[in-house]
Structures are given as structure tokens and as C-alpha cells.
Amino acid sequence: MTSKYQIYIFSLLLILLSVGVMTYKVEVLGFPLFAGEEKSIWNIEAKVEFTGHGKNAFVSLALPEAQNGMFVYNENASSANYGYVVAEEDTYLRGEWSKRKVEGKQTLYYSIDVILDEDFKPESVKEYKRNYSIEASSLVLQATEAIMQDAYDHSSDDISMAARLISEFNKANPTQAVEMLKHRYIKSPRDLRDVIAALLEDKKVRLRRIGALELIDGQKNVFLKPMLEVFYKEKWQLFDINNGKISKPKNLFIWQRGAVSLLDAEGVTGSEVRFSVTENVVSARTGALLKGSDEKVSLMDYSLFVLPNESQNAFKHLLLIPIGALVVVLLRVLIGLKTSGTFMPVLLAMAFVQTELVPGVSMFLIVVSIGLIVRSYLSDLNLLLVARISAVLIVVVGIMAMLAVLAYKLGFTDIITITFFPMIILAWTIERMSIIWEENGPKEVFVQGGGSLMVAIIAYFAMTNSVMQFWTYNFPEILLSVLALIILVGRYSGYRLSELHRFAPMVRKK
């Protein structure tokens, strides 16, 4: 009795473990539960261009920080012949290229791959340290006294003041003071942002400047979109300089934050940085894998996905064997089907997976039939068993080669997959069948061969089920559940379905 409970507990633990790992992979690592789910990978490329004049060049580009909802899994700086380092400056990262005696037009690229992921939250709310002096000129401040007074009067806190100010600048008919400022200082969206920021900072509003990119496919050579963030009540509030207060859109990638300059260049002229955004659609699984491997999740570090592609493909098939085994266990223990050789049907099913069902079954039947005919001749030669099986094996190879050539000539290219059949299994099947034929007659051959073939076909359907294939490959831990199930079935001491029929005459007589 205790051993029975042990088995229940053990199986339960196995199932919990496998479901637990699966849940972790789906919920945390973002593995898709079903095939076909897609994810976007955004490639953001910064193109730095400048012209050299024979002097030593030093170019420094502000690099994006880790941010909520944006998982950066790959960064790449391609910079032929340039020395490249990533330097940290006041907690800000910068990519720095340098080279001696640069001549002519130069282009440097820095690109990152980003996956949108709501669960990714590396940011902590930190108050932005102001480490620069306000540069706003007194002239601007004088001219805008009225504007600020208005904004101050019509607001209750920093947030509403910033909102008021932005709306003043975006009015169709702005006040005269605004009109004057615009005319004089604002040539680009970036100027507008800087003016607004300067005005607010003068009122002791804690803010930071932002250069962002909207992740929309096909953007080429665009500039960062200037935006603002205002710190209030331990939170940063984002402002669009055209629309006022906004909550951060999911697809907004913040490249530059704070007052650090986006691009610094020494020894060159005409430096400029432009951005391109490209969307690549990949399966959600690939996305999860990229994320998992980059986050150094140890579960992924020691998963099948670290193997070379070729081995992974081999495992894709190997991982299906337990499913086939489960089918055989269920059919034998619960249904009571007889098969010749315990796992011969699984191996056959594996071959069918490679060959497709109909060509596989027909090839199996053809090879076994021809083999039986040849075997009946060999039996007259009175050979030792090992020699006879080996002879059958060679005949099987011959039949397979012949079929492949014949089929190819006739245009049935499917048949060439015949090589996937395990030859030893075929040879043994032929040998066993021929013995059964001699001893129990052809009827028994059809009964036993048919039984094995049927189990193989059922196993084939279980193993080619796309959900099964997807699960065993992406969630190998599901095999623990299969194991638990097999252990539980292994303790099933009830009647088999076939016994309900077999012992039926006893009930009728009573």
C-alpha cells in the first residue's frame, strides 16, 4: 500500500515539476504555448555620418539605457577600422569610435535588436541628477515672463504647468509672446522642446529631455523625436511636445535621456546621426529563446537550444519517442493490444514520421512481402540463424535500393525516404513473420503484423500531432509528465479493454 502512495506522490511531483517549468517558460520567458504565435524583433540602426579632414577623429554617441517593456538582446557596432569602446559617463553609456587621420566622408553604424516585452522591468525610478548649468538666455526668459505667469496661474503643480505650457505653444492662435519666441528661437521640434524645457527648469521643475523613436516599420534616416519627462511625486511623467501629457506608448523606444548630448564629434565636420527602424517578424519561440539566452537564464543555458542546429533537429525526433512509448503502454495496458516486439511499433512510427504515412506503410508492406518470399527460399538453404538474418538484411538493403531507383525513375520521389526505415527492424520483422508463418500459418502473420502496424500508425498520429511535436521540442520537461503517466499506468491493475471481451463468455453463462 505504501508503495502505491509513494508512486502517486512521485508521479504528482513529476507532473508538478513539469507543469511548473512549463509555466515558467510560458509566463516569464515568453514561450508560446502553441506554434504559430509571432513576435516582432525591432532592429534600430543609428547611422553616424561625418567628414574627416586628415585629423584624428573621435566620435561619441549616446547609447540607450535599459528601459521598461523593451528587451534589448543584441547590440552591434560596425565600424570598419575604427577603435570602438563602450564608455560609461555619469551613469550614461556612450559608444566611442576613434581613428587617426580620417579623410573623407565616413559612416559608422550602431544597431540594436529590441523585443517588446511588458514583463521586462529593469528601470528603477530615480530622480534625475541635474549636472549641467541652465543655458537659457535672460532674453528668452524676459520675453516669456508673461507666458510662464499664465502657465503658473493656470496650474496646480509641475505636471499641469508643463501641460499648460505645451498647449500654449501648440495653439493655432498663440499669444504674441509665444509667437515671438517661436519665430525667434524655434526652427525644429527639438528647439521647441528645448525652449519648453528651459522655461520649466527656470520654474524649478525637475525634468529631463528625451530623444525617442517610435517603433514603426520602415522608418529610414529619421531623427530622434524630442520629448520631455517631468519628475513629480516620485514619478516621471512623459510629455509629447505637440500633444502634452501622454502615457508612454508601448512602442516608444527611448534612445537618449537627460541632457547628455546625442552625438559628440571631435576632429571632424558635418557630424550627424540618423536612425532607421526595421521590423522582423519571428516566431514567438525564437523571440523567447533570444531573450532567454541573453538574460542568462540558467534553465536556457542548459537547454536543448544551446545545441547546434543539426543536433537539435535530431532531438526533435528523439523527443517524440516517449510519446510513441506512451501510446504503446496505453494500448497494451489499457486496451490490451498485442504487438510483435514491445517497441517495434515505435520504431516503425518513427520511420513513418520521416516518410509520411501512406508511402511509409506501403513501402513497409512491399519490403516485408518481398523479404518473406526471399526468406522462404533462404529457409531451404539451412543456414544458421545469424547468417540467415544477415542474409535477409542484405536482401532488405537490396530491395530498398531497388525500390528507390525504380521509384525515382517513375517520378515518385517520396519513395527515396525509404532509407529512414530501420533495416535491422525490417530484417527481424521478416524473420519473425516467416517463423510465425511456418508455425502458425499466414493468418497469424496478418493478425500479429497487422496489430503491430496498427499500433505503429496510432503512435504515428500521436507523434505527428503538431501540438505534440511543438510541446516536446519546446517544453522537453513535458516528458516528466509522460514519465509520470507511464508510471501511473504501470500500476493500473484493472481490467484491460480486451479482457472485457475475452472473459465475456463467463458472464453470459452465469
Partner 1 sequence: MIVFPSALKKLNVLGMNARNIDYISRYNDRRLYPLVDDKLQTKKLIEKHGLKAPELFGFIEFQAQVKKIKEIIPEGAGFVIKPAQGSGGKGILVILKQEDGYFIKQNGDKINEHNLRRHISNILSGLYSLSGKDDVALVEKLIEFDDAFEGFSFEGVPDIRVIVYRGYPVMAMMRLSTSASDGKANLHQGAVGVGLNISNGKALSAVQFDAPITHHPDTGKELLELEISQWDKVLRLASGSFDMTDLGYLGADIVLDKQNGPMLLELNARPGLAIQIANKTGLEARLRLVDAIAGQHKNIDERLEFSYLNFGATDA
Residue 386 makes contact with partner 1 by CB under 8 A: yes
Q: Tell me if 491 contacts partner 1 by CB under 8 A.
A: yes
Q: Is residue 499 near partner 1 by the rule CB under 8 A?
A: yes
Smallest separation, CB 346 to partner 1 (Å): 18
The C-alpha cell 527492424 sits at 425
> Crossing angle, helix 344-355 and helix 321-329, to 10 degrees?
130
Q: Is 423 in the site for partner 1 (CB under 8 A)?
A: no
Q: Is 495 in the site for partner 1 (CB under 8 A)?
A: yes
Q: Is residue 493 near partner 1 by the rule CB under 8 A?
A: yes
The stretch among 105-113, 171-179, 272-280, 381-389 that binds partner 1 (CB under 8 A) is: 381-389
Record the cell numbers describing residue 348, joined without a space.
Answer: 516503425
Rounded Cα distance, 215 and 254, in Å: 10
Applying CB under 8 A, the span of 163-171, 293-301, 391-399, 496-504 interacting with partner 1 comes to 496-504
H or E element in which residue 299 lies: helix 298-301
Residue 475 burial class via C-beta count within 10 angstroms: exposed 0-12, middle 13-18, buried 19 and up: buried
* Residue matched to cell numbers 560596425: 78
Min dist. Cβ of residue 437 to partner 1 (A): 13
Chain position carrying cell 510465425: 436
Q: Is 1 in the site for partner 1 (CB under 8 A)?
A: no
Helix or strand run (H / E) with residue 494:
none
Query: CB of residue 348 vs partner 1: minimum separation in angstroms?
Result: 18
d(CA 441, CA 448): 11
**Neighbouring residues of 415: CB distance < 8 A, sequence distance ≥ 6:** 359, 363, 403, 404, 406, 407, 408
Beta partners for 77? 110
Note whether 189 binds partner 1 by CB under 8 A. no
Region near partner 1 per CB under 8 A, out of 67-75, 124-132, 379-387, 414-422: 379-387
Cβ closer to partner 1: 174 or 451? Answer: 451
Give me the least distance between CB of 494 and partner 1, in Å please. 6
Rule CB under 8 A: is residue 172 a binding residue for partner 1?
A: no
**For residue 449, what is the enclosing H or E element?**
helix 442-464
Is residue 451 close enough to count as binding partner 1 by CB under 8 A? no
Residue 6 engages partner 1 in binding (rule: CB under 8 A): no
Nearest approach, Cβ of residue 351 and partner 1 (Å): 21
> Using the rule CB under 8 A, which residue among 296, 385, 410, 411 binds partner 1?
385
User: What cell numbers appear for 504 in the block?
Assistant: 465475456
- Residue from 435, 442, 466, 467 touching partner 1 (CB under 8 A): that is 435
Residue 88 and residue 222 in contact, taking contact as beta carbons nearer than 8 Å: no
CB 151 within 8 A of CB 165: yes
Binding site for partner 1 (CB under 8 A): 333, 336, 382, 384-386, 435, 439-440, 491-497, 499-510
